[in-house]
Amino acid sequence: MKLYNTLTRKKEEFVSMGPGEVKMYVCGPTVYNYFHIGNARPFTVFDTMRRYLEYRGYKVTFVQNFTDIDDKIIAKAIEEGISPREVSEKYIEEYFKDAMALGVKKADIHPKVTENVPEIIAFIQRLIDKGFAYEVEGDVYFDTTRFDEYGKLSKQSLEDLELGARIEVKEVKKNPMDFALWKAQKPGEQSWDSPWGKGRPGWHIECSVMSMKYLGETIDIHAGGQDLIFPHHENEIAQSEACTGHPFARYWVHNGYITINDEKMSKSKGNFFTVRDILKEFDGEVIRFFLLSAQYRNPINFSRELMEQAKNSLERLYNAKSNLEHLLEKVEGLDIRDEEKEILAGFETYKLKFIEAMEDDLNTADAIAAIFELVKEINSNVKGSASRELIQESHELLMELAGVLGLLNKKDEVGVDPEIERLIEERQKARKEKNFGLADQIRDQLKEKGIALKDTPQGVQIIKLN
Ligand SMILES: Nc1ncnc2c1ncn2[C@@H]1O[C@H](COP(=O)(O)OP(=O)(O)OP(=O)(O)O)[C@@H](O)[C@H]1O
Ligand SMILES: [Zn+2]
């Protein structure tokens, strides 16, 4: 696969360090709020990258942290009169609810900063011992002038960066770009004991420590949103490579922004929509489809219109799936015919197209287009007269490709209209009351509306007929 590496500013052939295995770290959320659809983009696209690598046969070890020590968490705790721990625990739980709705798989490990403070302290001590960090009044700073390659990820020189920065009067650090590894406790703040007195870790150090602890000194892929390139990832590289003398990550990948009126969606600007709120109106898979409808580095302007489009497109895929499942129920034991073998071979070309798109820096937009071409062919070639094998194979292919993108996971249709839902409920009620006459009558009524029902042990399955 080709991946655009921010470190080299080039699309490079991805070669994993260990044969057949990938070690991947994604910077996770700061847990003090519900996440917005901008934050949902890295979670979703890197989940898709993981799924695709797994599809290609790699064993992926996937780590995504929770930042559960942060000024914003502390502020929220004070605001709500609860402890920072209560704030972070709550929003970690809420993260999992929304992530599940989006079809984002759990990471192999979701480490928390609060569970890694001793490791962080040991790491900072190593940096001090090696002369890359210094302590002032209970704070510890990384000395950027000691790391020659500072700026290599964001392609800025330390001199230029320093020109643009100033040391505020009350600051105690030696150089303008030096950043905090450890912050002395301020009155009333949560704190941990350390060799430099009571305090807490700075932000950047957590990812270096947790990535190394769970994945080793050098990993394959380190990912996050493009706003993390500087300073977060630049600083992660400086402190990690200063400490070990080895490259920290081989491929640095960054997603583009979800924007509102061409401005980055962000909590601080207030121009955001939480996934929780969008879920009141759209299914999680529709949100996922929307997020994957562009290649991950391109910006996407969030709008209701695009969400509606995503909903309609996804519905077309679900229709194709239901049609095939409906056919499978009707058609019995016909062997595949020669002319059908050709049709099937034709379908395989769309699988190749799909893979080619995903190989090209995870171009999910083109991959989705390939699925639609496949669906078009399936719709015009797989009918009631088809053999069971052709129907089966078509269904499997559609599910295989959609599955790589984390789509078509639901048993039922997305977005069934309320009138139909009401009829289905009425029919259920009639069946419960053993009023089978009425139940059948409603079934016929639904059929007229293009809906077939299938009673399965898991409940009623809704199938849209064409
Ligand atoms: N508008 C956006 N589009 C795409 N990715 C984003 C956007 N905003 C934040 N991200 C990414 O979301 C992930 C989660 O980050 P985090 O929870 O720290 O949010 P954040 O950066 O504080 O959000 P905000 O910028 O809204 O304050 C990071 O990888 C970040 O780069
Ligand atoms: Zn990070």
pLDDT in tens, 130-189: 999 999 999 999 999 999 999 999 999 999 999 988 777 678 999 999 999 999 999 988
**Ligand with an atom nearest the CA of residue 232:** 2
Query: Do 59 and 19 belong together in one domain?
Result: yes
Position 241 in a domain? yes
CA distance 464 to 457: 19
Integer Cα distance of 205 and 461 in angstroms: 50
Q: Do 122 and 218 share a domain, yes or no?
A: yes
Annotated binding-site members for Zn(2+): 27, 207, 232, 236
Residue 159 lies in a domain: yes
- In terms of domains, do 27 and 98 share one? yes
State the ligand closest to the CA atom of 253.
1
Is residue 334 exposed (0-12), middle (13-18) or buried (19+ Cβ within 10 Å)? middle
Q: Same domain for 75 and 203?
A: yes
Residue whose CA is closest, atom 16 of ligand 1?
Answer: 29
Are residue 397 and residue 446 in the same domain, yes or no?
no
Q: Which of 355, 337, 343, 283 is nearest to 313 (CA)?
A: 283
Query: E strands of 20-152, at which residues?
Result: 21-26, 59-64, 133-136, 139-142
Sign of the C-alpha dihedral computed for residues 280, 284, 286 and 287 taken in this order:
positive
Instruction: Please check the confidence at residue 412 and state whether its pLDDT lies above 60.
Output: no
Ligand 1 pocket test, candidate residues 227, 269, 301, most atoms within 8 A of CB: 227
Residues 9 and 129 in one domain: yes
Residue 343 domain-assigned? yes
Q: Does 62 score more than 70 pLDDT?
A: yes
Helical (H) or strand (E) element with 459: strand 459-464
Whole-number Å distance between alpha carbons of 384 and 224: 47
Same domain, 219 and 364: no
Contacts of residue 158, defined as CB under 8 A and 6 or more positions apart, other chains included, come to: 144, 145, 150, 151, 177
153 and 91 assigned to the same domain: yes
- The pLDDT score that the predictor gives to residue 456 is 63
| Structure confidence at residue 271 (pLDDT) | 97
Q: How confident is the model at residue 414 (pLDDT cuts 50, 70, 90)?
A: very low
Does one domain contain both 147 and 34? yes
C-alpha span between 296 and 302 (Å, rounded) = 14
Residues having CB within 6 Å of any atom of ligand 1: 27, 29-30, 38-39, 41-42, 224-225, 227-228, 255, 257-258, 264-268
SS3 19: coil
- Number of domains, the chain: 3
Answer whether residue 411 is part of any domain: no
Ligand 1: centre distance to CA 18 (Å): 31
Least confident of 22-36, 159-173, 385-399: 159-173
* Domain with 452 in it: 418-464
pLDDT score, position 457: 55
Which atom from ligand 1 is nearest to the alpha carbon of 268? 27
**334-388, pLDDT tens digit by residue?**
789 999 999 999 999 999 999 999 999 999 999 999 999 999 999 999 998 999 9
Residue 295 lies in a domain: no
One domain for residues 226 and 328: no
Question: What is the number of the ligand 1 atom nearest to the C-alpha of 257?
Answer: 3
If asked whether residues 108 and 208 sit together in one domain, one would say: yes
Pick the closest to residue 67 from 186, 205, 195, 160 (CA basis): 205
**Which residue, of 255, 270, 290, is where some domain finishes?**
255
